[in-house]
Structure 1
Amino acid sequence: MKQFLKDVLQDLGETPKRLNSKYFYDHTGDGIFQQIMNCEEYYPTNCELEIFQHKTTELARVLKNGFDTFDLIEMGAGDATKSSYLLKEMLRKKFDFTYMPIDISADMIGHLEKQLPEEIPGLKVKGLNGEYFEMLTHASQISPKRKVILFLGGTIGNFETNAALDFCRELRSYLQKGDVLMIGFDLKKHPDVIRKAYNDAQGFTRAFNLNLLNRINRELGGNFVLEQFDHYPSYDPATGACRSYLISLAKQEVCIEGKVFTFEKDEYISMEISQKYSVEETESMAFNSGFKPVNHFFDSRHWFLDTVWQCE
């Protein structure tokens, strides 16, 4: 709670105002995001699921990378829907590995540790509840095995491009030469397809953004009037940046923990970026962060890329 408050006060005090998208995911936000993933316009989930469903054998072979035994670590595992196809295939091939899902949600880790061994008999699961790099350190402390990392869902797109490169460089510092990373990128495509994915007709994305204001009201004693803000998405095909904003519909003041923030009419809060990449840009990121791209896996429309990088 203290960190949430600190971040909100700092971010709304900046010019322009912003909020950190990691706070979208409270109980209500999780539910809305499930609706987003299931709506017709939101393509990334189904594109990546197609890769895991139809290219499972090749994925398993490439990720094993000749290791006799290894830890398969999924950063931001969620409910492991996509990776479960891979887990089943690796067990079918009698690979010797332990699945280590990392998630910030203790409830989700508890669910995975209980549910997955029941659904996938023989699977060894060691859940890691916490932040990515803290848990990667912990994984190395509890197991000396080679590491195969999954970072799926296009989550890397939630960073600005420079920050994404910094993230990959930091991730590389936790791994050994020869270790493997599979990372998902949402690719550049027709701008209309992308805009609709972040502005669905049923309004789930709008509700997802506004829910953060509701969370601030509920948990931090804020007094946002949600009806005084509107959701606005944009996509720039030149840069690949898809951004979401909340626009103030009137001149107004919002108070959070005694601190007053003034909003002008039409002033925006920057809420989220979902960066889109070309294949060439992903390869450049690999080389510039200490990895070597070794395989590309695409869905049938080439809208999404799961690329396998090896540590140099």
Structure 2
Amino acid sequence: MQQPCDGHIICFDIAGCRLTIADLFFTTRRKNAMTYLPVDGKQRPTVASSEQSDQSAASFELDVLSGLSQSPKRLHCKHLYDQRGSQLFDRICELPEYYPTRTELAIMDEYADQMAEQVGEDAVLVELGSGSSQKTRVLLDHLRAPAAYLPVDISREHLLETADKLRREHPGLRIHPLVADFTQPIEIPASFDDKKRCVYFPGSTIGNLESDEAIELLQNIAGLVGPGGGLLIGFDLQKETAVLHDAYNDSQGITAAFNLNLLHRINREADADLDVDQFDHHAIYNVERGRIEISIVSQCDQTATIAGREFEFDEGELIHTEYSHKYTRDGFVSMAAAAGFSARKMWTDPRDWFAVMYLESNHGN
């Protein structure tokens, strides 16, 4: 299936796995509670309604209570990205130890024209977890007459700020930001039904998911873009343990602050009294499972009240917050094939630390 090409580009045989995925999570028609916020022209997008904000707060509280009631305790990584968390993550991306962002950006700078060729002309670009859209800017500069750009992010203010910047940089581009958890149902406006759809999923965010969850999400994306639609995705490759350890335990403590910020958020939004100073950041590389395992560790026996419920934390007890899986090339291609995608092209850096791959959906074929 894999064929060598020039430089650090890998091409794939056009004949791919032909899987039909049923009961998909994403849809281009299903009605949901989220609303696209137009950023065409001069109008500043309105924020989500107070009812939606209340629902979001209630959902956060329920997730926290549920996660801390499990054994072992866990908190979903999506909740790391409130406004403060998103700002801290942007700082992480600039750290000397944190190689993924600059490595992926270098790949984008080198091969964005080839990526744009795969996406094609007049396509709708949907970005999942858009963040600051630093890499998106490189891609947008090379796309040929994109029909629209639909950034999706869970952090509302961060998303709207980025969308405003992109509108000023690309005044002719139709931008429809969506404040949403991209693991939940989203829809593409019906006005784009006749356009090719391509999802852009950078940053190795796919690595935050367990293998079965990652396959399910990829299946959902295959259904969202439809047959012939595309997925341009970044993923981290396996490498030396020391490099990985330093990337998630930086000397400035920014990653620790990012992780512990979740406890500050719980105190603020779930009426809690967690003593954040009595917790610490914990990140190790599990070689056998090929993943970074990130947790918050209790430094002593302690008790806290969260939303009226009492929770006990033992000294040394871990609260799992995030995984970051590292892949092999063949392993990722196999996972994508199981989800209904055929690999078309892959680009890597000279050290083979990171990869960006273009996949084509076989959904419905």
1:59 counterpart (115, 120, 123): 115
1:22 maps onto 2:71 in alignment: no
| Residue 193 of structure 1: aligned partner | 243
Q: Comparing both structures, which one devotes a greater share of its residues to helix?
A: 1
Distance 2:88 2:359 in 1: 32
Matches within 5 A, 1:147-296: 147-296=197-346
Q: 1:23 to 1:282 in 2, by over 3 A?
A: same
| Residue 9 of structure 1: aligned partner | 65
Q: Secondary structure at the match of 1:16?
A: coil
Counterpart amino acid of residue 80 in structure 1? S
Which shifted more, 149-158 or 171-180? 171-180
Distance 1:222 1:97 in 2: 46
Q: 1:223 to 1:273 in 2, by over 3 A?
A: same
Q: Secondary structure at the match of 2:233?
A: strand
Distance 1:228 1:46 in 2: 33
Using the TM superposition, give the Cα deviation of residue 262 of structure 1 relative to its aligned residue in structure 2, in angstroms: 1.1
Distance 2:170 2:133 in 1: 12
Distance 2:163 2:203 in 1: 21
Structure 1: give runs of 5+ residues left out of the alignment. Answer: none
Using the TM superposition, give the Cα deviation of residue 140 of structure 1 relative to its aligned residue in structure 2, in angstroms: 4.7
Counterpart amino acid of residue 176 in structure 1? G
The count of residues paired between Structure 1 and Structure 2 equals 305
Runs ≥4 residues deviating over 6 A: none
1:119 counterpart (166, 169, 173): 169
Q: 1:251 to 1:110 in 2, by over 3 A?
A: closer
Sequence identity (%): 35
| Structure with the larger RCO, 1 or 2 (CA within 8 Å, 6+ apart) | 2
- Alpha-carbon RMSD across the aligned residues, in angstroms, is 1.6
Q: Secondary structure at the match of 1:224?
A: coil
Distance 2:96 2:129 in 1: 24
Q: 1:58 to 1:188 in 2, by over 3 A?
A: same
Q: Secondary structure at the match of 1:250?
A: coil
Distance 1:103 1:28 in 2: 14
Q: 1:255 to 1:33 in 2, by over 3 A?
A: same
Q: Normalized against structure 1, the TM-score is what?
A: 0.93
Q: 1:7 to 1:112 in 2, by over 3 A?
A: same
Structure 2: give runs of 5+ residues left out of the alignment. Answer: 1-56
Q: Secondary structure at the match of 1:295?
A: strand
Distance 1:131 1:227 in 2: 30
| Residue 123 of structure 2: aligned partner | 70
Native 8 Å contact 1:12 1:19 kept in 2: yes
Q: For each residue in 1:4-33, what CA deviation from the matched residue of structure 2 results, as whole angstroms up to 9, or x when unmatched? A: 110000100000011111111122212221
Using the TM superposition, give the Cα deviation of residue 201 of structure 1 relative to its aligned residue in structure 2, in angstroms: 0.7
Native 8 Å contact 1:133 1:171 kept in 2: no
Q: Normalized against structure 2, the TM-score is what?
A: 0.80
Q: Secondary structure at the match of 1:38?
A: coil
Native 8 Å contact 2:104 2:354 kept in 1: yes
Native 8 Å contact 2:149 2:173 kept in 1: yes
Distance 2:246 2:130 in 1: 26
Distance 2:168 2:106 in 1: 24
Q: For each residue in 1:66-106, what CA deviation from the matched residue of structure 2 results, as whole angstroms up to 9, or x when unmatched? A: xx53211111112221111111112xxx4352222122233
Distance 2:155 2:259 in 1: 20
Q: For each residue in 1:243-284, what CA deviation from the matched residue of structure 2 results, as whole angstroms up to 9, or x when unmatched? A: 111221111111112211111221111111111111011100
| Residue 357 of structure 2: aligned partner | 307
Counterpart amino acid of residue 43 in structure 1? Y
Distance 1:102 1:217 in 2: 27
Q: For each residue in 1:183-233, what CA deviation from the matched residue of structure 2 results, as whole angstroms up to 9, or x when unmatched? A: 111110001101110000111111111111111112212111122112111
Distance 1:164 1:276 in 2: 13
